[in-house]
Amino acid sequence: MSTRRNTMLAHLAELAGEGEHFNDTTAAWEQADFADKHPFLLIERSVYDASLFVTVHESLAEAADYHDVQEYPDDWTIEYVLDLDTGERYVEAGRTTKLVKED
């Protein structure tokens, strides 16, 4: 298993252990299969039921674009994007999504 995949699986397990629930649990874990080529883990939260939805992306810009162009972007807030290589977290800054390193 790759380091990125292991990092992602460990992070999802940590979230689950904290009592977080996923919008689609199977899809969340299946995203780990793409972590080798997609080092940025986008974690969004539903404004309706607080569930999490996770996707992996090749870049921060791609993660932001994914969020902005989805059918109902206002239904989801960005919790953060996790860099699976460095462990750094990025958060939303502004209405048009721009991701910056979390302090």
pLDDT digits (tens, 9 = 90+) for 25-44: 899 999 999 999 999 999 99
Domains identified in the chain, total number? 1
Per-residue pLDDT at 96: 57
Per-residue pLDDT at 102: 84
DSSP label of 101: E
Residues of the chain with pLDDT under 70: 1, 94-98
CA proximity to 42, closest of 94, 102, 99: 99
Per-residue pLDDT at 93: 75
Domain that holds residue 79: 3-101
Asked whether 59 and 83 are in contact (CB, 8 A), the reply is no
Can you list the positions of beta strands (E) in 3-98?
Answer: 40-46, 52-57, 76-83, 89-92
Give pTM, 2 decimals: 0.87
